[in-house]
Structure 1
């Protein structure tokens, strides 16, 4: 029985090692892709800092990857979250959105942040700086509501 268990553990270890050679494509672009969004929505420096630390990793074309993202299967799990996040809202693609869509997205921003649905809890586990204070939530909500009303 011990020999059988040892073979299973070795098999699992080999599978883990081989899996490291298969990785999803990384979401690495340029912060320049956010220029149109920032120019149009004119967030204050405080709001820009909040967006940078709590939103852009999953909602833009540029993710800041930490060390643990180099390991399979974590990298696939992260890639899935990023794809989902960008499907919902991609600040890097802001200029391609219609006025109606921009208005709706700003409404979703303030609603999701106000309800504390964003940033999502799995992200907060390794990004404690993204855990927004009440003051930061108010800044984002007020800014997003103002932008919503401008469309």
Structure 2
């Protein structure tokens, strides 16, 4: 009986591999990207790219497990939700009030250690932020909030 259950599970696992996720990133428009339009310093840009861009941009680098269902389905859903919430690749398309709101959320989520997600660190140790890096990022986002307000109000 145990052997039959194991075979059914194995066959099911093999069958779901025939339903891969689409790992094609949307096209990039460099003039829309947050790092570029805000003239982000290289050290800050690196932190944002390492800790945010896989889920919050059109520059996702899919890890090896993105090819194995069902983890690939979870990952794709997570990326879609992340892009929907905030997409750094299309940041310039946001109205200034929305930019400010998203920057406030970025600062808050990083400050409270809600982002990047703990689960993201499993395959991305370089995304783990020290307290100093968290402060650097939150200060930068808060600076950008002020700059955006000055330019648009």
Taking structure 1 as the reference length, the TM-score comes to: 0.91
RMSD: 1.4
Number of residue equivalences: 147
Report deviation, 1:28.
Answer: 2.2
Partner residue, 1:13: 10
Richer in helix (by share): 1
Is residue 2:38 matched to residue 1:41?
Answer: yes
1:29-73 Cα offsets, whole Å, 9 max, x none, are 45x445432232221111110011110000001211111111000
1:107-150 Cα offsets, whole Å, 9 max, x none, are 11111111110001111122111110112111111110010011
Partner residue, 1:124: 121
* Regions of 4+ moved over 2 Å: 27-30, 32-36
Taking structure 2 as the reference length, the TM-score comes to: 0.90
Select the residue among 125, 130, 133 that pairs with 2:130: 133
CA distance in 2, matches of 1:106, 1:34: 19
Contact 1:24–1:75, Cα closer than 8 Å, also in 2: yes
Partner residue, 2:112: 115
Unaligned stretches of 5+ residues in structure 1: none
Is residue 2:150 matched to residue 1:144?
Answer: no
Unaligned stretches of 5+ residues in structure 2: 149-153
